[in-house]
Structures are given as C-alpha cells and as structure tokens.
Structure 1
Amino acid sequence: MTVLGWISAVSLAAWVWLTLCHGFFWRTDVRLPPGGDAPDRWPSVAVVVPARDEAEVLPLSLPSLLAQQYPGEARVVLVDDGSTDGTGELAAKLGAAGGLPLTVTTPGEPPAGWTGKLWAVRHGVEQAGEPEYLLLTDADIAHGPDSLARLVAAAEAAGLDMVSQMARLRVRTGWERLIVPAFVYFFAQLYPFRWSNRARGRTAAAAGGCSLVRREALERAGGVEVIRGAVIDDVSLARAVKRSGGRIWLGLAEQVDSVRPYPELSQLWRMVSRSAFAQLRHSVLLLAGTVLGLALVYLVPPVATVAGLVGGAPVVTGLGAAAWALMAGTYAPMLRYYGQPLAAALLLPYTAALYLLMTVDSAVQHWQGRGAAWKGRTYPAPD
C-alpha cells in the first residue's frame, strides 16, 4: 500500500475505536428522565445568574427563571458584573413584573487571580444565603417552566451532587447550523457523557449554562474559590465536585435553550477560540497533538476518498470512504437532535477544519498577549 493508504487505514481504525469504545459519545440519549416521583420535601434553591452586558438577551431568559413552577422555596440572584448597557436596571424592571423573588446585586471588579464570571458567581452564592441547592445558569439561557423542578427531582432521586444540562444552542443562520451542532458533538467526544456520569470514572464535565449543585457539595469541593482563575469554569467545577467525592451527571437538555444569537462566523469563531488553547492547558505539545489528531481523524477520510478516486486506487478510496461513513454516521444523531438535515453530516470534515483553525488562532492570540478575552476582559494563563 501507499503511504496515504496506510494513513487511511489508521484513520479508519481510529473511527472504529471512537464509534465502539469511546463511551458511545455520539449518542444523544443521555437525558433527564421525563418524570419520576416528586421528593417528599422540596429543598430550597437559589438561582445564581452572572450577567455582564446582557440587556439584549435578558428579556428572553430572565422571565423564564422568574416564572419557574417550583413547589419549594426558590429565589433568583442576578449579579450585574460591571455592565454598561443597563443590565442591572433592566433585570430589576423584569423582576417587578412578578414571579420568584429577585435580587439584583453588583460584586465590583474582580481581584487578581479571578475571572470576572467566577467573581460574580462567588458574590451571588454569598448573597443567596444557605439554600440546599444552587442553580448556576448563564444570562442567555431560557428555561422551561418546570426545568428547575426536574433538575431537583433528578438530583434527589439519584443522590446526585451536581446535575448539569447542555443547553440547546440556537441554530437559525447558516453558520449556526454548520458550527453549533459540531460544537456539542466535539464536546461530547472530548468528555463522553457516560464516562463523566460514572461514579468512579476519571472523566468529569458539566455545562456552565445549567448546573444544579448541592451547596454542601460545593463547600466540600472548596467553594467557587477553588476554580477562581478557570476560563473553562464548568468543567473545572465538575472536576472539583467529583474529586471531593461528589456524584455528578451531565446530559443534553430538552427544556433549556440558549437565546444568544451567533449569526456571523466571526462571533462563533470568538466563542471557540477564546478558550480553546486554555482547554489544552496552554501546551504547545498538546496543541501539536490536537492539530495532528484532527487532521488524521477528520481530514484524511475525504482526502483519501477523493485522491483514491482520482488516482485509481480503490483500496485507498475504500478506506477513506469507510472512515468518512463512520464519521457521518456518528454525527447524524446530533444533527437529528438539532433538527438539521442528515446530509449535512458529510460536511463535518469542513467544520472540523474550521475548528482546527480556531484552535490554532486561540494559541496565536495567547502568544500575542490577548489570552482568553471576553467582554472587555483578558485573562492570562494561570501559573
């Protein structure tokens, strides 16, 4: 066989392993149970919402929290993190319309070593008092009317210390349809949900847009302080809770939706690149391995298929096409979850190439001193 043939064989072997031996990451059936017995006593909950310049999306998200049909005691704490667009005033106005009690508070500028979001979350947790559960949710997340009740019921029924749902992101524009389902697919490949949900497994992950955590478990893990400098705070919190003996669960959401629009490629690019190099722990070796791995797994199959057809090499064509078919087959459930045409699965290599470039760009931004930038703040790599 030619060199390309051997490389194609390795790519196919990688896809066979990913499909069968990597926690079935591609399946989309890890969801909260549709019902279940209600707890004998509904525990108290405080919803903490860090918000920085979120006036555009707040009218679509905050009312859904205030309207939660929760049988127990619940309140909402919105932390206005130095907004300049009237986020705090708008939140107070929305809260005056009724629903769960709302507190709007301001934490001040974060001290050295803290990210702005986590400083805001810490302040919100302090203002929440001593509820039994804390729901940490982003300001762009809209919840179904019984979302909170379902999260608490699942935690109580299974004895979980952290229950997190990956919010369904918006897919309306062409770029959103191309990039967003792949974002969740790649996240699940990096952190297979089934592995994360194992009590004794090493994998731990969560989705920051919707994470319910027991207050005692958070304190046992060291509080928000233990992850104060984390850019990827949701995964860091899940690791801290699991490392301290807590049980965690992560799955896809059905009644939790992101309302933030990403109509242009540049906006989606920033969403990924701001934290991609941090995900690789700012390691050049991990960056190189990631680039080579993405190329081998996602780019080799279509290249081998086309090159084999053009060069009259049926073995290369067959190996490349088989790997491409497995790739598309594993991506199809995520496209179905997002209501997208299954034929779009054939475009996954192109999307993966974009993610590869975003990852490299994230490293370049870091080396240029811009680090993980978000809403006017730039965070250096932790020591």
Structure 2
Amino acid sequence: MTVLLALLIAVAALTGHTWLNAAGWLRRPTDRPGQVDEPVAVLLPLRDEAARVTGCLRALLAQRGVPGLRVVVLDDGSTDGTADVVRAVVGDDPRVTLLTGVAPPPGWLGKPHACWQLATRADPDATALVFVDADVVLAPHAIAAAVTELRAAGVTLLSPYPRIVVATAADRLVQPLLQWLWLTFLPLRAMERSPRPSLAAAGGQFLVLDRAGYTAAGGHAVVADRILEDVELARAVKRAGGRIALADGSRLATCRMYDDWPQLRDGYSKSLWASFGHPGAAAAVVASLLLLYTAPPLIALGLASTAPRVSMVALIAYLLGVVGRVLTARATGGRWWPDALAHPVSVVVLGWLTLRSYHLRKRRRLTWRGRPVS
C-alpha cells in the first residue's frame, strides 16, 4: 500500500505539472497578427512527397500578412514526380523557387542536408527562416503569427507544435504521446530561461528561427549526422547563447505525420533510440512509465474483489493519468474522448516501439525514405 500511495503521489505531481504547463506556461501565438514587415523565407524540403505536398504548397501560397514572403522548395532526390507536382501547383508564382537537391555527402543524413541546402540558398535579405514539412498545412495567418511570436518572445528558435491529425487506431494510441511527453515532463518556462543545452525540445515539422541566431549556432551543419536534427538544432542554438521556446501551434497548423501503421511504426523506430540515448536510460524511462501509468489499472482490476481499498487507490492513480492526457489534448487541439482512457495501452505501445528501435539499430537495419539512418 505504501508503494502504491507513493505511485499515486508521483502521478498526481506529474499531472499537476501538465496542468501548469498547459494552463500557464505554454505559449499561444495570436490568431490576429499584424503585418510582418521583415523578409521571411519559408523552406520546404521534399523527398517523395507527390501525394501530400499539394495541400502544403497551397497553404503557403495563401499566407497573409507577410508581404516579404519567399518560399524555397528543395526536391531531395524524389522518384515519384514530386517536382512536377510542385510546378503544377506553383505555376509562375514569383515568390517560389524550386531547387534540385544533391545527395548528402559522407557524414550527413538526408533531412539535415536538405535543410542546410535550403538555408544557404534562401534570400540573403530574409531575417527569419521558417522550416515546414510537406505533411503540414498552415492556416492563412500562420507564418505572420509565428514570426510575431518569435519576436515577442525574444527567442532565436520557436517551435509552434501543429495539431496532429489522427485517423487510425494506431494514430490515436501513439501520436498524442508527442505532446503529452513534453507537457508532462518538460518545465517549459525553465527551458526558455535556462542556458543548458540538455533542457531543450523542438518539433521539426514547423520551426521558426531568427536567421542571425541560426547562422551563429552553425545551422544544420552542426547537426549533420543527427536523427533528431530538430532537438539538436535547439541545443546548438542554446550553446551559441540563444534562447528557444515551444508554442501551441494547433490553431496555426495541422499535420498528418503517417498514413498507416507501418509508416508510423518505422517513423518512431528510426528515432526513439536517439531520444533516450543509452539503452539503460531507455529501459529506466520505459519501466517508470509502465509503473506509473500501466500498472495502476491492472492492479485496480486484479484486486477489486480481494483488496478493494488498494484497488481504489490504484484506480485513482489510473484516472489521474487519464486526466493528464485530457489536459494535453485540450491544450493542443487533440482528441481526448475516449482516447485518453487508453493511455496505459499507449504507454505499452511506446515501450514496444522503443525496444524495436534499439533492436533494429543494433543490427544496422534502420532506414527512412530509402536511406540508412544508423
């Protein structure tokens, strides 16, 4: 009973921290930004994105309040006609430049190299850089709002996290954990204030940077071989003396990251090992998550008839974990009912994906978009 009470207190504290982050510390860009007068370069790396790039491009061309907007698109070795789709959507719009990428040299992974090519070829007058992935669809005011928040916050890097669109059962189990993890375990305002590179987070789907700060940090060249190039870029910004911030971008952008379970499985598998680092650290984190969020409902069910008081404490711990998921979903535009009730199952799936990630990396079988990543 003592151990279970300690577990209950731990879950309650984490859920309280989630509430503090979601209710008071999470930045929320304005829905009605004024005009952004500085030149802004939007950078869009593409590799085999013919099926999804149309919505992204149309949303970029429909941006309002940024008269100095320029869009640079890089076709990174696509074999599915991505460049032809870009040309068909863009037409002769003078704001858009389409580049043909070159293969990454030794020591570079594909995504950082594509982003580096884009940054070095962007309009030299642009003072803000916005990196967007092909699976992101922006609201018409998104770029203006994000750049306005970047300047208002006084940071070098702003990560407005898009609303993740879920369609399948796998999506609903796994994808909400992205926001839940950083809202539950990362002190957002402390992250902004602290110069420690280890205290950093970012989402590469939609990143906004001050160009001078990006250059001072070394840009994507300093994260050339990093799987989590977004997080490592945020750390590089801190090392260079800059500041970073996360924001709720659910009213600015939507993102459907994966079309099906194999894509989702492989997408997480390629990067989870890099999130945790040493396998021992991963094992400790996963074990703690299972103990805190998966064990309580099992205990509540197993002891309901033989130890009702113990079962009730475990049930309360489970419900507090569910409340944490509800708070996260409501703060980031996600779906909470009935998905939050399956939070213990989500944690189990995360544990399995983590194990798979380390297993495939050990055997050098991790790939993404046809390229090895480890």
Q: TM-score, normalised by structure 1?
A: 0.89
Query: Which residue number corresponds to residue 207 of structure 1?
Result: 203
8 Å CA contact retained: 1:75, 1:101: yes
Amino acid at match of 2:5: A
The equivalent of 1:52 in structure 2 is 47
Determine the structure 2 residue equivalent to 1:174.
Answer: 169
Distance 2:33 2:135 in 1: 30
1:242 Cα deviation (Å)? 2.0
**Alpha-carbon distance between aligned partners in 1 of 2:83 and 2:24, rounded to the nearest angstrom:** 37
Query: Which residue does the alignment assign to 2:95?
Result: 101
Deviation at 1:159, TM superposition (A): 2.1
Structure 2 residue runs of 5 or longer lacking an equivalent are none
CA distance in 2, matches of 1:330, 1:23: 8
Aligned residues: CA RMSD: 2.3
Contact 2:48/2:79 (8 A) holds in 1: yes
Answer whether contact 1:221 1:241 (CA < 8 A) is retained.
Answer: yes
Distance 1:344 1:338 in 2: 13
Corresponding position of 2:16: 20
- Over 3 Å counting, the alpha-carbon distance change for 1:266 and 1:195 in structure 2 is farther
Q: How far does residue 161 in structure 1 lie from its aligned partner after superposition?
A: 1.5
1:353 counterpart (348, 353, 364):
348
Q: Which moved more, 1:176-185 or 1:347-356?
A: 176-185
What residue is the counterpart of 1:118 in the other structure? Answer: 112
- Give the match for residue 133 of structure 2: 138
Q: Deviations over 1:104-154 (max 9, x none)?
A: 112211011111011011111111032101101111111111111111112
**Counterpart in the other structure of 1:194:** 189
On the 8 A contact 1:276/1:359 being kept in 2, the answer is yes
Query: Secondary structure, in 3 states, of the residue corresponding to 1:151?
Result: helix
**2:256 aligned with 1:247:** no
Deviation at 1:183? 3.0
Contact 2:172 2:339 in 1 (8 A): no
1:272 to 2:264 alignment: no
Match of 1:293 among 277, 288, 297: 288
Contact kept, 8 Å, 2:33 with 2:148, in 1: the verdict is yes
Q: Deviations over 1:140-196 (max 9, x none)?
A: 111111111111112223322212111111122333223222332124334443333
Q: Which shifted more, 44-53 or 159-168? A: 159-168
Say if 1:8 and 1:300, in contact at 8 Å, map to a contact too.
no
What is residue 34 of structure 1 aligned with on the other side?
A: 30
Secondary structure in 2 matching 1:93 = helix
- 1:15 offset after TM fit, Å? 0.8
Deviation per CA, 1:251-274, whole angstroms, max 9, x where unpaired? Answer: 121121114453x33332222221
Taking a change above 3 Å as real, the CA distance of residues 258 and 85 of structure 1, as seen in their structure-2 partners, is same
C-alpha deviations, 1:11-59, integer Å up to 9, x for none?
21321331235783465972433257747x7111111111100001011
- Aligned partners of 1:8 and 1:304 also within 8 Å: no
Whole-Å Cα distance in 2 between the matches of residues 71 and 347 of structure 1? 42
CA separation in 2, counterparts of 1:68 and 1:150? 11
Task: Confirm or deny: 8 A CA contact 1:107 1:119 kept in the other structure.
Answer: no
Out of 199-208 and 154-163, give the one that drifted further: 199-208
Do the aligned residues in 1 keep the contact of 2:158 with 2:209 (CA within 8 Å)?
Answer: yes
TM-score by length of 2: 0.91
Relative distance call for 1:174 and 1:285 in structure 2 (3 A) is: closer
1:219-258 to 2 correspondences below 5 Å: 219-253=215-249, 254-258=251-255
Q: Percent identity between the aligned chains?
A: 30
Distance 1:326 1:208, change over 3 A: same
The corresponding residue for 2:147 is: 152
Measured in 2, the distance between the counterparts of 1:30 and 1:224 equals 26
Tell me the amino acid that sits aligned with residue 376 of structure 1.
Answer: G
Tell me how far 1:368 sits from its aligned partner.
1.4
Look up the match of 2:63: 68
What's 1:316 paired with? Answer: 310
Q: What amino acid sits opposite 1:365 in the alignment? A: L
Q: Is the Cα contact below 8 Å between 1:11 and 1:300 reproduced in 2? A: no
Question: Structure 1: where are the runs of 5+ without partners?
Answer: none
The question of whether the paired residues in 1 share the 8 Å contact of 2:26 and 2:248 is answered with yes
Q: Per the alignment, do residues 259 and 132 of structure 1 end up closer, same or farther by CA in structure 2, a change over 3 Å counting?
A: same
Change (3 A) 1:6 1:106: farther
Rounded Cα–Cα distance in structure 1 between residues aligned with 2:170 and 2:257: 14
- SS of the aligned residue for 2:346 comes to helix
Task: Give secondary structure in 2 for the equivalent of 1:157.
Answer: helix
- Written as runs of structure 1 = structure 2, the 5 A alignment for 1:327-338 is 327-336=321-330, 337-338=332-333
Q: Which segment is superposed worse, 336-345 or 41-50?
A: 336-345
Q: How many residues align?
A: 370
Taking the aligned partners of 1:151 and 1:109, their CA distance within structure 2 comes to 31
Check the 8 A contact 1:95/1:101 in 2, yes or no.
Answer: no
The 3-state SS of whatever aligns with 2:48 is coil
Larger mean Cα displacement after TM superposition, 69-78 or 22-31: 22-31
